[in-house]
């Protein structure tokens, strides 16, 4: 089983991936441990990851950069979080205002989902499933992922996630704040 778990920072990827690994015979491949640079060369990162996974049949590839390129897999889970919840999580991490703003906007613009569809959807080899994580524990999300994988031939759908309204509100608020 080859699974990719991606999404903007703060959506729960690391917490969920660690539990999925504990409940399966998959190896965790954490992109942050492969590429620690602040400025990431995505093509070089992809080559490194392909080398790491080349002989692996069971892995969980976890990281927000996993949406930026294709790796052979059966499932891609895009974790999504309500921007209000995400704001709190990123604030607790001590992110600066600019980094928080960039990640909130990325979430509201469906950045990771769009990139996943662009990079994995064309190939047609992986099931792409969005999961709303707000108000759910890592255990609940893990059960959902494992149920989806277990029922691979059955139609287990992801969530419909759209933060367009939040983006409009956020943009209006930011415009008002910069005009002052």
Condensed to tens digits (0 to 9), the pLDDT of residues 94-145 reads: 999 999 999 999 999 999 999 999 999 887 789 999 999 999 999 999 999 9
**Residue with the larger pLDDT of the pair 96 and 173:** 96
100 assigned to some structural domain: no
Looking at the 3D structure of the chain, how many domains does it have?
Answer: 1
102 assigned to some structural domain: no
Whether the full predicted model's pTM is greater than 0.95, yes or no, is no
The DSSP bridge partners found for residue 27 are: 59
Q: Dihedral of the CA atoms 163, 164, 170, 173 (nearest 10)? A: -150
Residue 17: count of CB within 10 angstroms of its CB: 26
Question: For residue 6, what are the domain limits?
Answer: 2-82+111-162
Nearest to 5 by CA among 33, 30, 32, 22: 30
106 assigned to some structural domain: no
41 assigned to some structural domain: yes
């Amino acid at each position: 089983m080859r699974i990719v778990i991606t999404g903007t920072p703060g959506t729960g990827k690391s917490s969920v991936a660690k539990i999925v690994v504990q409940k399966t015979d998959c190896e965790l491949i954490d992109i942050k441990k492969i590429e620690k640079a602040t400025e990431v060369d995505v093509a070089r990162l992809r080559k490194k990851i392909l080398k790491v996974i080349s002989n692996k049949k069971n892995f969980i590839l976890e990281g927000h950069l996993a949406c930026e390129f294709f790796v052979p897999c059966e499932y891609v889970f895009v974790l999504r979080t309500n921007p209000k919840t995400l704001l709190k999580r990123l604030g607790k991490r001590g992110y600066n205002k600019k980094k928080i703003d960039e990640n909130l906007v990325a979430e509201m613009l469906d950045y990771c989902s769009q990139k996943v569809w662009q990079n994995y959807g064309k190939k047609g080899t992986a099931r792409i499933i969005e999961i709303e994580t707000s108000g759910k524990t890592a255990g609940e999300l893990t059960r959902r992922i494992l149920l989806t994988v277990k029922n691979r031939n059955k139609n287990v759908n992801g969530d419909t996630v759209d933060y367009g309204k939040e983006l409009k509100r956020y943009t209006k608020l930011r415009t008002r704040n910069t005009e002052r």
